[in-house]
Amino acid sequence: MKPITLSSDEIAFVRSLVIYEDADILALNKPPGLSSQGGRIAVNTLDELLAAFAKPSGVRPRLAHRLDRDTSGVILTAKSQPAAAFLGKAMMSRRVRKTYLAIVAPGAPQPREGGIELALRKESQGREAYMRVCDADHLDAQTASTRYRTLAADARAALVELAPRTGRMHQLRVHMAAIGRPIAGDARYGGALVLAGTPVTRQMLHAAALTFPHPAGGERRIEASLADDMTAMLAAVGLMVPARWLAQSADTGL
């Protein structure tokens, strides 16, 4: 890994994101606007900010997965190569269960709870990559499965809980758009840019919880409280935030 020099403000910032730590893993509540890795903006990504936790040898925690730049929420890192390999295998074998919260519009999906089984394929336009719904027998088709349920709703918007069964790029964003309830603020896939007279400045998608096998044994669940902008948007449209997502928590088991 290349050496990284961080300012005292950057070190304090990334340390403030920590929601769980033990000998093997470090979990953070990533804010919106921070790239996980490889961002084009000339600021340090989360991957680079992890240098704040580097060992004397210079080895720093490694990201076990990534979130889109404008998606907030829990992100898991491994503090050693064995832990990284273990978590990587768990991700590949789909033993990691992810729970997201999203604000969608207009109103609740119909039905209010269900599953979306729509294959996706990648499409490039210039430097940008998109995912599109396609026929399951398309040459480039990737199977994609999402469960959803509505937590709160009115005619304008809804707060939904999303559980991806597969991990395709932009899967939740494309699936919700495909059923006519794109994620608010997601300009790429048709999301509303204004709700209740309030501008939506980023996609309202939050990685709320991860449940995963732990390198030391057993299973862990880590939760991350909603970002302030999502809480404020829900207040603007008059929707209640479930209490469990208002305070950060990290469970040591299930």
Give yes or no for a contact between 239 and 44, defined as CB atoms under 8 angstroms apart: no
CB neighbours of residue 227 within 10 Å? 22
Say whether 188 sits in a helix, a strand or coil: helix
pLDDT at 2 over 70: no
Residue 173 near residue 167, CB atoms below 8 Å:
no
Q: How confident is the model at residue 247 (pLDDT cuts 50, 70, 90)?
A: low
Instruction: Answer yes or no: is pLDDT of 221 > 60.
Output: yes
Cis amide linkage into residue 106, ω under 30° from 0: yes
- In a 13 Å sphere around the CA of 184, the CA atoms on its Cβ side amount to 28
Q: How many CB atoms neighbour CB 185 within 10 A?
A: 25
Tell me: cis bond preceding 199? Omega within 30 of 0 counts: no
Of the two residues 246 and 192, the one the predictor is more confident about is 192
Neighbours of 127 (CB within 10 A): 6
Q: Do 244 and 209 form a contact (C-beta atoms < 8 A)? A: no
Q: Dump pLDDT digits (tens) for 152-162.
A: 999 999 999 99
Residue type present at position 206 = H
Give yes or no: 68 in active site. Answer: yes
Domain boundaries, the chain: 8-251
State the catalytic residue, choosing from 22, 24, 47, 68: 68
- Per-residue confidence at 248, pLDDT binned at 50, 70, 90? very low
Query: Which CATH class, in words, describes the domain spanning 8-251?
Result: alpha beta
Torsion (CA) 146, 147, 152, 153 in degrees, nearest 10: 60
Between 197 and 37, whose confidence is greater?
A: 197
Chain-centroid distance, C-alpha 69? 9
Buried b / exposed e over 233-254, threshold 16 CB at 10 Å, is bbeebebebeeebeeeebeeee
State pLDDT tens for residues 16-37.
Answer: 999 999 999 999 999 999 999 8
3-state DSSP assignment of residue 172: helix
Nearest CA-CA partner of 133 in 192, 72, 180, 187? 180
Q: Which amino acid is at 115?
A: G
- Confirm if 19 and 27 have CB atoms less than 8 A apart: yes
More confident residue, 150 or 43: 150
**Distances from the Cα of 184 to the Cα of 20, 29, 171, angstroms:** 29, 21, 15
The reported pTM is: 0.92
Give percent of the chain above pLDDT 90.
85
Q: Which helix (H) or strand (E) holds 111?
A: none
Indicate whether 196 pLDDT > 60.
yes
**Contact (Cβ atoms closer than 8 angstroms) between residue 102 and residue 183:** yes
